[in-house]
Amino acid sequence: MSLNEELHSVSRTTAGTVARHDTQETFRSTNPATGAVVGVFPVHDADAVAETVARARVAAQTWAALGFAGRRVRLAAYRGYLARRMHELAELVHRENGKPHADAILEITLAIDHLAWASTHASKTLGPRRVRAGMLAANHAAVLEYQPLGVVGVIGPWNYPVFTPMGSIAYALSAGNAVVFKPSEFTPAIGAWLAAAWRAAVPDVADAFQVVTGSGGTGAALCRAGVGKLAFTGSAATGRTVMATCAETLTPVLMELGGKDAMIVDDDADVAAAAGAAVWGAMSNGGQTCIGIERVYATSAVYDRFVAEVTSQVAGLRPGSDDDAAYGPMTMAGQTDVVRRHLDDARSAGGRVATGGTVDGGFIAPTVLLDVPESSSAVREETFGPTLTIARVRDAEEALQRANASTMGLGGSVFSGSRAKAMDLARRMRSGMTSINSVITFASVPALPFGGVGESGFGRIHGEDGLREFSRAKAITRLRFALPVDLMSFRRPPSATDTLARVMGIVHGSHR
Ligand code: NDP
């Protein structure tokens, strides 16, 4: 029996929920292309969430006690399991999220790569290390280490239902925490599959990774369940609510929120390459990518060529649910309304539709908009659809100014022929991540931290920062030998502090 075939029973037991929950309320997830039911899942209420977190708390002790080496072996078994069943999981992602099978494979590959990096770098990043004790404590050894938080709650979105939550789950588990994951109500089968895969691959600490299903109420219960940290990925609006709920119990939060990422195309850029990257960055996954390109600022020198190149490349793209489709339907019906509103707003503000602009059910044609005023919602708000605005700017400085004039700042891209200029623009771009002469690449580099500024959130997943995000620093000193004079004692002689003041004068007094 495949994991998919097990899903129904998994969905009732993934959280380890006991029989009394068999009568509880359920909900369905459906295929966004056909409306067919993918699975039926329990709505875990506050009691069920509390029970799951209690089991996770017990498992967290076993998991932490395994140490880095013991966890690394088990995390390797998990990623091996995922790699061997990649097509099965990709097929489920295709059915429940709507994206093409090939894009699902790419997403799962990225998640596995992060799992590998996190588990193999945890010991070096978080393990105990001696640090200099300094002048005042020269007779002590000083040790710094990063300890797990216990149970980490993860709340995830539907757009990258494997890669996005795994950015928190892989790093939290590698840091020695147990995880309770609440997937989006639009992709519960994928979340349940990931947890069932864990139970199969790591049976001796099965409760270290569990899933609870439901909608916002289940997520809120997880916020209130006394977890050590809540890692949230989703919209800024829900992020505010999650933060407010977590504040009730002073639960710390990690916020990975939406974006309105910009691309700058400079005078000397490779225009064809920039156009290809913009089209992929804007249209892949139907534009439902937090780090997707939504705005392009092209200098006057390249604008006409860039628009012509983008328009011709977009002409070859088509949404659909077959193997040849470039991208699938909108996963969440409500998002179609947002895209439609932005298109209408852009048109009524004087914007021109260079190509696309049509909406057929959940399928939205790849759309390129020109001359859209910066005040329009299509430029200011996250569209999260297969649309791209292209604006003509005087030079790269104006492009940067406009790119930075956003409340959000997640990722971004710079296309330039000059390495020094591109680096300068990338550094000054108000975002957590920028790719030069490509798009989205930073997300595929496990050693690089991932996260935003402003309304795109705070905190970091991925890389060493991502591992530290799910741990707390612990400082320890150990007396190595006693000194004849102990400054931190009521028995110190009165002359001791005079001597100390003289030494400080000699060491630091010459600095002006
Ligand atoms: P939402 O903010 O609508 O939902 C995110 C998650 O929060 C879902 O699991 C949702 O559950 C849950 N939730 C909803 N209400 C509450 C509540 N009151 N308390 C606790 N949890 C709650 O985002 P989407 O799922 O629509 O995802 C799209 C958004 O995610 C976009 O803005 C996108 O940019 C962003 N995103 C950010 C990324 C990043 O790394 N910065 C990566 C990927 C996406 P339910 O679905 O059941 O309502």
Phi/psi for 260 (5° steps) reads -140, 60
Find the mean pLDDT for residues 437-449.
Answer: 97
Give the pair of three-digit tokens for residue 235.
Answer: 């919209």
Report pLDDT for 14: 42
pLDDT greater than 70 at residue 3: no
| Ligand 1 close to Cβ of residue 156 (< 6 A) | yes
| pLDDT tier at 24, thresholds 50, 70, 90 | confident
Task: Please write the tens of the pLDDT for every residue from 101-159.
Answer: 999 999 999 999 999 999 999 999 999 999 999 999 999 999 999 999 999 999 999 99
Find the mean pLDDT for residues 65-73.
Answer: 98
Pinpoint the alpha helices (H) of 284-431.
300-314, 333-348, 377-380, 396-404, 419-428
| Distance from residue 487's CA to the centre of ligand 1 (Å) | 54
- Global pTM? 0.94
| Ligand 1 close to Cβ of residue 257 (< 6 A) | yes
Task: Compute the Cα dihedral for 18, 19, 25, 31 and give only its sign.
Answer: positive
Report pLDDT for 323: 87
Task: Please write the tens of the pLDDT for every residue from 225-262.
Answer: 999 999 999 999 999 999 999 999 999 999 999 999 99
| Distance from residue 50's CA to the centre of ligand 1 (Å) | 21
Q: In a 3-state reduction of DSSP, which class is residue 439?
A: coil
Regarding the domain with residue range 3-257+463-471, which homologous superfamily does it belong to in the CATH classification? Aldehyde Dehydrogenase; Chain A, domain 1 (3.40.605.10)
Q: Does domain 261-445 have CATH number 3.40.309.10?
A: yes
| Ligand 1 close to Cβ of residue 411 (< 6 A) | no
Mean pLDDT, the chain, whole residue set: 95
Closest CA to 159 of 363, 280, 368, 335: 335
Closest CA to 393 of 410, 409, 375, 370: 370
| Ligand 1 close to Cβ of residue 191 (< 6 A) | no
How many other β-carbons are positioned within 10 Å of the β-carbon of residue 465?
Answer: 17
Find the mean pLDDT for residues 33-52.
Answer: 97
Report pLDDT for 475: 98
Gap between the terminal Cα atoms of the chain? 75
Q: What is the DSSP string of 46-61?
A: HHHHHHHHHHHHHHHH
| pLDDT tier at 8, thresholds 50, 70, 90 | very low
Find the mean pLDDT for residues 87-106.
Answer: 97
Task: Please write the tens of the pLDDT for every residue from 179-202.
Answer: 999 999 999 999 999 999 999 999
Phi/psi for 450 (5° steps) reads -125, 125
Residues classed as catalytic: 256, 290
Which atom belonging to ligand 1 lies closest to the Cα atom of 157? 25
Identity at 341, one-letter amino acid code: R
| pLDDT tier at 89, thresholds 50, 70, 90 | very high
Is-contact 427 452, C-beta < 8 A?
no
Spans of all domains in the chain: 3-257+463-471, 261-445
| pLDDT tier at 2, thresholds 50, 70, 90 | low
Which atom belonging to ligand 1 lies closest to the Cα atom of 223? 20
HEC letters along 81-97? HHHHCHHHHHHHHHHHH
CA dihedral 115, 117, 121, 123 (to 10 degrees): 20
Task: Please write the tens of the pLDDT for every residue from 399-428.
Answer: 999 999 999 999 999 999 999 999 999 999
* 351 alpha carbon, distance to own chain's centre: 32
Report pLDDT for 22: 53
| Ligand 1 close to Cβ of residue 381 (< 6 A) | no
Task: Compute the Cα dihedral for 433, 237, 385, 377 and give only its sign.
Answer: negative
pLDDT greater than 60 at residue 7: no
28: DSSP letter: E
Query: Nearest residue CA, atom 43 of ligand 1?
Result: 290
Pocket test for ligand 1, best of 30, 99, 155 (most atoms within 8 A of CB): 155
- C-alpha–C-alpha distance, residues 89 and 83, integer Å: 10
Residue corresponding to tokens 């395994």: 66
- C-alpha–C-alpha distance, residues 122 and 113, integer Å: 14
| Ligand 1 close to Cβ of residue 442 (< 6 A) | no
pLDDT greater than 80 at residue 62: yes
| pLDDT tier at 6, thresholds 50, 70, 90 | very low
Task: Please write the tens of the pLDDT for every residue from 499-508.
Answer: 999 999 999 9
Contacts of 491 (CB under 8 A, 6+ apart): none
Is-contact 378 342, C-beta < 8 A?
yes
Of all residues in the chain, what percent carry a pLDDT higher than 90?
A: 94
Report pLDDT for 90: 98
* 234 alpha carbon, distance to own chain's centre: 9
Q: Residue 263 forms beta bridges with which residues?
A: 296, 413
Query: Nearest residue CA, atom 42 of ligand 1?
Result: 290
- C-alpha–C-alpha distance, residues 448 and 286, integer Å: 25
